[in-house]
Amino acid sequence: MSSQRATAFVPGHVTAFFSAHRDDDPTVAGSRGAGVTLTDGVTVRVSAADDGDTVADAAAAGETTIDGEVGSIGAVDDVLAELDATAADVAVETDLPIGAGFGVSGAAALGAALAANDAFDRGRSENELVRVAHAAEVDRGTGLGDVVAQARGGVPVRLEPGAPGVGELDGVPASARVEYVTFGELSTEEVLGGDTDALSAAGEDALDRLRADPRLPTLMDAARGFAGEADLLVPEVAEAIDAVDAAGGEAAMAMLGRTVFALGTGLSDAGYDPEACRIDAAGARLVDD
Amino acid sequence: MSSQRATAFVPGHVTAFFSAHRDDDPTVAGSRGAGVTLTDGVTVRVSAADDGDTVADAAAAGETTIDGEVGSIGAVDDVLAELDATAADVAVETDLPIGAGFGVSGAAALGAALAANDAFDRGRSENELVRVAHAAEVDRGTGLGDVVAQARGGVPVRLEPGAPGVGELDGVPASARVEYVTFGELSTEEVLGGDTDALSAAGEDALDRLRADPRLPTLMDAARGFAGEADLLVPEVAEAIDAVDAAGGEAAMAMLGRTVFALGTGLSDAGYDPEACRIDAAGARLVDD
């Protein structure tokens, strides 16, 4: 039975480090690495487009809004097409900054998949929906590993790249407050479109360190090493990481964004005025409307 | 840094149907099948045993309590031994009935693994902790698939048996209210210790049906078919399932327990006085003390 409307919540995801893995098949492509999912995330509401009385209305495709403004997200469009739901209205809402390393595009794609499947009773399994969203995100070049991480929740470790059935995940068991400050956008497409060999080598080193010692402080330390080795640090972020370190805390850069995130009260203690949330234990999920 | 105390919550899990898969290696053994995880679950608090001033106190092993009463759960003991934490005090608390098909022993084992790892900073990954708890549960003969399901949360589908790295999971995407009524215990050890060939054949049939159509109503229908084919239905449960059906609802038997569970208000509508909770989206997790 189709309810014709459904809502999903998908946590934000800050990547601590990663290596890029290309493949012509977008379900096989992806990234290894690790990150932290956040209770600050993206809510996606999918509903049947208003039935119009006129021919023009009836033929119109559904509308996507982002925080109330009409817009479009490529990966969301692809997900809706795959689920035969292009006539749906999609409302994406988030308090997270967009383009700043929180995986908002991946979250929107995964949330659209979960909500459209439920609203229109498409009968796909969780793995199938994650696969559809992951493939859309990879095809659009907006991310490589956020979707599978956001589906799992917690502190996901991407052992092998790719969608469910191809990739492999583990997690660092942890519950913690997370603070973050954003200084602006950084283009994922631009970094991922360039030469990623040095970046990927640094990412593999960082993953080896974390697998040998799956603890949160090791993740943060490996993330700082990665940002330096991969030459991705921007001045404001480097300054904030140093300030948190000087105040006795743990911070790192969100990949890929001009964003710094810290455990506990790290950024507050260093004199910043951060947003605060927690590690999200649940991962992507349907929620009540 | 070790905090010397930590708390984990693990959802209850009612198995809808299953097939048993034996192996000498308990991480390879397990079950295929599907079930529903519940926001009613088990809280496990692990702390360093009180330091005694006397030699006798100092040498004493830690104490396990179950809802405040001193007791023991074999799988919990094995988990603590594996994590070198036998001197810990463990407090297991649950509102769920024990021995009635809610996976309380698996939840206690997994909660002990997560909490002991955190309290004593053992540095194991999530997959490793699930593996330790799954192996302990299989070795003790108290369950075959609850632990991996409880680690995932939601409506887990066990595609392949075994611990992380061996088994394979999917899920039915769903959010729903769940009601349940329990009429008493049914020994998991006794059923699993007997001839399980007919049961497993029925479980494989049910899983094929659900994989072809991963929707909640199909899961409930496949569960009813399984209970009949596997000859596990007990009279009070059969009567309740029929009553819910007559009232237009969906109910099934929890494997293995004299327990019936229903979606939405199925049991209330049929005139029962059930416990009510929801599908647990998150799965096992550390929580604040």
Domains of chain A, residue spans: 1-289
Find all residues with CB under 8 Å of B93, minimum gap 6, and list them.
B42, B43, B44, B45, B66, B67, B68
What residues in B contact A248, CB-CB < 8 Å? none
Which residues on neighbouring strands pair with residue B181, listed in sequence order? B260
Interface size A-B, in CB pairs within 8 Å, comes to: 85
Task: Answer whether residue B188 shows pLDDT above 80.
Answer: no
A126-167 confidence digits (pLDDT tens): 999 999 999 999 999 888 999 999 999 999 999 999 999 999
Quote the pLDDT of residue B279: 98
Question: Which of A125, A174, A282 is closest, CB to CB, to B170?
Answer: A125
Residue A286 DSSP SS3: strand
Find all residues with CB under 8 Å of A263, minimum gap 6, and list them.
A176, A177, A178, A179, A216, A220, A249, A250, A251
Q: Assign B50 a pLDDT band (cuts: 50, 70, 90).
A: low
CB-based contact B170 A126, cutoff 8 Å: yes
Torsion on CA atoms A168, A173, A176, A181, rounded to nearest 10:
-20
| C-alpha span between B195 and B189 (Å, rounded) | 12
CB-based contact B123 A172, cutoff 8 Å: no
CB-based contact B286 A175, cutoff 8 Å: yes
Task: Answer whether residue B63 shows pLDDT above 70.
Answer: yes
Q: Assign B2 a pLDDT band (cuts: 50, 70, 90).
A: low
For residue B207, the one-letter residue type is L
Whether the CB of A287 is below 8 Å from some CB of chain B: the reply is yes
Indicate if the alpha-carbon torsion angle B238, B244, B247, B249 is positive or negative: negative
Quote the pLDDT of residue A54: 44
B152 or A196: which carries more pLDDT confidence?
A: B152
- Select the highest-mean-pLDDT range: A96-105, A180-189, B166-175: B166-175
Residue A248 DSSP SS3: coil
Fold observed for domain A1-289: Ribosomal Protein S5; domain 2 (3.30.230)
Average pLDDT of chain B to the nearest whole number: 93
Whether the CB of A125 is below 8 Å from some CB of chain B: the reply is yes
Quote the pLDDT of residue B49: 81
CB-based contact A175 B285, cutoff 8 Å: yes
End-to-end CA distance of chain A: 17
Whether the CB of B191 is below 8 Å from some CB of chain A: the reply is no
Nearest to B269 by CA among B289, B240, B239, B249: B249
CB-based contact B173 A286, cutoff 8 Å: yes
| C-alpha span between A270 and A260 (Å, rounded) | 12
Quote the pLDDT of residue A231: 85
DSSP E strand boundaries for B196-254: 251-253
Which residues on neighbouring strands pair with residue A31, listed in sequence order? A20
Give one DSSP letter per residue of B67-89, joined into a string. TTEE---HHHHHHHHHTT-TTEE
Whether the CB of B99 is below 8 Å from some CB of chain A: the reply is no
For residue B272, give Cα distances in angstroms to A91, B38, B277.
Answer: 40, 19, 15
Task: Answer whether residue A1 shows pLDDT above 70.
Answer: no
Residue A93 DSSP SS3: strand
Find all residues with CB under 8 Å of A241, minimum gap 6, and list them.
A224, A233, A251, A252, A253, A260
Residue of B nearest to A211 (CA): B125
Interface test with B, best of A208, A285, A287, A289 (most B CBs within 10 A): A285
Please answer whether residues B118 and B140 qualify as being in contact, where contact means their C-beta atoms are separated by less than 8 angstroms: no
Find all residues with CB under 8 Å of B81, minimum gap 6, and list them.
none
Whether the CB of A248 is below 8 Å from some CB of chain B: the reply is no
CB-based contact A127 B285, cutoff 8 Å: no
CB-based contact B154 A125, cutoff 8 Å: no
| C-alpha span between B161 and A277 (Å, rounded) | 36
- Select the highest-mean-pLDDT range: A56-60, A183-187, B261-265: B261-265
**Please, what is the Cα angle at B224 between B273 and B247, to 5 degrees?**
45
Residue A127 DSSP SS3: helix
| C-alpha span between A126 and A132 (Å, rounded) | 10
End-to-end CA distance of chain B: 17
What residues in B contact A154, CB-CB < 8 Å? 126, 285
Residue of B nearest to A164 (CA): B170
Tokens of A277: 């949330």
Residue whose structure tokens are 């309740």: B240
> Residue A197 CB: number of other CB atoms within 10 A?
10
Please answer whether residues B60 and B52 qualify as being in contact, where contact means their C-beta atoms are separated by less than 8 angstroms: yes
CB-based contact A126 B213, cutoff 8 Å: no
Whether the CB of B171 is below 8 Å from some CB of chain A: the reply is yes
Query: Nearest C-alpha of chain B: how many angstroms from A153?
Result: 8
What residues in B contact A282, CB-CB < 8 Å? 153, 281-283, 285
Quote the pLDDT of residue B58: 41
Task: Answer whether residue A265 shows pLDDT above 80.
Answer: yes
Q: Assign A50 a pLDDT band (cuts: 50, 70, 90).
A: low
Q: Which helix (H) or strand (E) holds B10?
A: strand B5-21
CB-based contact A172 B125, cutoff 8 Å: yes
- How confident is the model over A49-58, as a mean pLDDT? 51
Task: Answer whether residue A176 shows pLDDT above 90.
Answer: yes
Nearest to B281 by CA among A153, A266, A267, A67: A153
CB-based contact A288 B125, cutoff 8 Å: no
CB-based contact A125 B157, cutoff 8 Å: yes
Nearest to A86 by CA among A53, A62, A106: A62
Nearest to B256 by CA among B227, B222, B225: B227
A177-182 sheet: strands from edge to edge = A251-253, A259-263, A177-182, A275-278
- How confident is the model over A191-214, as a mean pLDDT? 91
Percent of chain B with pLDDT over 70: 94
CB-based contact A286 B114, cutoff 8 Å: no
